[in-house]
Amino acid sequence: MVKIKTLEFIDEKLYLIDQRKLPEKVEIFLCETYKDVDFAIKDMVVRGAPAIGVSGVYGVVLGAKEFKHLDKETFLDKMEVVLNILNKSRPTAVNLMWGITKMKELIEKNKEKSTEEIYVLLKEEGDRIKEEDIDINRKMARYGNTLVPEEAIILTHCNAGALATVDYGTALGVIREAHYSNKNIFVYADETRPRLQGGKLTSWELLQEGIPSKVISDSAAATLIRDKKIDLILVGADRIATNGDTANKIGTFMLSVVAKTYNVPFYIVAPTSTIDFNIETGKDIVIEERNSEEITYIEGIRVMPEGVQVYNPAFDVTPEENITAIITEKGIIRPPFKENILKLK
Ligand SMILES: CSC[C@@H](O)[C@@H](O)C(=O)COP(=O)(O)O
């Protein structure tokens, strides 16, 4: 079963698998301060919406550890800074803001208590959110598996696996569940340019567990879909608007267009913490733009001419009309999305 520990909080330290080094090396990145966590999220030591959310939460715990010896007023001021910094470490995955808001509310509710007591409460909340994430992934996997035929070829994009969560995964959680319930499945994993989360991370997870799979270049997906070689598509999400528009890794939108053209079911797998109830449509989702080196370099080697101009959005928005259903821990949400998503609030 799943052997990958994406993150662990032990002895007041956050241990992350360094996803920048995979699959060549399995190294641990140690976070002893909230600034380490801010760096780890920004630099994608840890990535994937739910994993970022839980790491951010533990970042707040580390902030409280650092400042709990201060007087209450200074502690609360410092925590405000910690919350703001972590909240901004990456902009698109709303799970981060969801987690930080939970910690902020907890501090607010308990601000009359001692700094030590607040620290303990934050730590307990962090542990609870971490455990809950595993439980949520298992629930989504079970719901999602009801949509997977006994024999199926599945296409996935980016990494929505154990590495993108605390354990098991969202889209890859459904794939695991189907595999372990003895369904005869085969997975195509888009390599996912420019950072290759599919080629490096999804393939690594699938190989470790012996789930039959092949990596394809992103541009091969359309041909497979047209040629009826794909039965369903499962992807994760970084932010879902209340009308169902969904931000996910760049390239997801393109897949959804092809899937719609050829009537292939296109499923989003995401916890309800990925729904942003404050926004109505995908137009309000902030899309992270990352540095040009992610495109112009491959493994430290420049592959494009010096001085080339680059546009590098890390996510795109799939319009709700291209989505067949959204699989959450509370059940499978189908159109009309707006009506059905609001019921989850
Ligand atoms: C469960 S993960 C869903 C998404 O977070 C995932 O598909 C994705 O887009 C991750 O992007 P990343 O930039 O690697 O953090």
Q: What is the pLDDT of residues 169-187, one digit of tens each?
A: 999 999 999 999 999 999 9
Domain ranges of the chain: 7-138, 147-342
Share above pLDDT 70 across residues of the chain, in percent, rounded to a whole number: 99
Question: Is 93 assigned a ligand-binding role in the annotation?
Answer: no
Q: Residue 334: phi, psi to the nearest 5? A: -115, 165
Q: List active site positions.
A: 238
Burial class (CB in 10 A: 0-12, 13-18, 19+), 88: middle
**Would you state the pLDDT for residue 3?**
58
Indicate the SS3 state at residue 18: coil
Report which ligand 1 atom has the smallest distance to the Cα of 50. 1
**Would you state the pLDDT for residue 106?**
98
pTM beyond cutoff 0.95: yes
**Would you state the pLDDT for residue 4?**
56
**Would you state the pLDDT for residue 57?**
98
Reading the block at residue 332, the tokens are: 């499978």
Q: Among 6, 55, 158, say which to mutate for ligand 1: greatest number of ligand atoms within 8 Å of CB.
A: 158
CA 17 to ligand 1 centroid distance, Å: 16
Q: What is the mean pLDDT of residues 95-112?
A: 98
Q: Please say whether the beta carbons of 203 and 245 come within 8 A.
A: no
- pLDDT bin (cut points 50, 70, 90) of residue 118 is very high
Whether pLDDT at 59 is above 50: yes
Question: Is 49 assigned a ligand-binding role in the annotation?
Answer: yes
Q: Do the domains spanning 7-138 and 147-342 agree at the CATH topology level?
A: no
**Would you state the pLDDT for residue 112?**
97
CA 110 to ligand 1 centroid distance, Å: 33
Cα separation, 139 vs 135, in Å, equals: 6
Indicate the SS3 state at residue 8: strand
Indicate the length of the chain as a whole number. 345
Whether pLDDT at 2 is above 80: no
Nearest to 333 by CA among 242, 250, 251: 242
- The single-letter code of the amino acid at 99 is G
Cβ neighbors of 107 (< 8 A, separation 6 or more) are: 76, 79, 83, 118, 122
Query: Which residue has the CA at smallest separation from atom 2 of ligand 1?
Result: 160
Cα separation, 344 vs 342, in Å, equals: 5
For ligand 1, whether the C-beta of 192 sits within 6 Å is no
**Sheet of 246-249, strands arranged across:** 239-240, 246-249, 315-318
Q: What is the pLDDT of residues 206-257, one digit of tens each?
A: 999 999 999 999 999 999 999 999 999 999 999 999 999 999 999 999 999 9
- The single-letter code of the amino acid at 300 is G
Q: Domain 7-138, what fold?
A: Four Helix Bundle (Hemerythrin (Met), subunit A) (1.20.120)
- pLDDT bin (cut points 50, 70, 90) of residue 165 is very high
Share above pLDDT 90 across residues of the chain, in percent, rounded to a whole number: 98
For ligand 1, whether the C-beta of 200 sits within 6 Å is no
Q: Please say whether the beta carbons of 132 and 165 come within 8 A.
A: no
CA 47 to ligand 1 centroid distance, Å: 6
Q: Residue 50: phi, psi to the nearest 5? A: -65, -35
Cα separation, 135 vs 168, in Å, equals: 9
Q: Please say whether the beta carbons of 240 and 246 come within 8 A.
A: yes
Q: Domain 147-342, what fold?
A: Rossmann fold (3.40.50)
Q: Please say whether the beta carbons of 288 and 314 come within 8 A.
A: yes
For ligand 1, whether the C-beta of 316 sits within 6 Å is no
Question: Is 226 assigned a ligand-binding role in the annotation?
Answer: no
Whether pLDDT at 334 is above 50: yes
CA 48 to ligand 1 centroid distance, Å: 4
Q: What is the pLDDT of residues 128-147, one digit of tens each?
A: 999 999 999 999 999 999 99
Tokens 């455990």 correspond to 131
Cis peptide upstream of residue 23 (ω within 30 degrees of 0) = yes
Q: Tell me which DSSP letter residue 202 carries.
A: I
Nearest to 24 by CA among 300, 216, 222, 302: 300
Question: Is 152 assigned a ligand-binding role in the annotation?
Answer: no
Whether pLDDT at 1 is above 80: no
Cα separation, 246 vs 342, in Å, equals: 15
* Mean confidence (pLDDT) of the chain: 97
Q: What is the mean pLDDT of residues 73-95?
A: 98
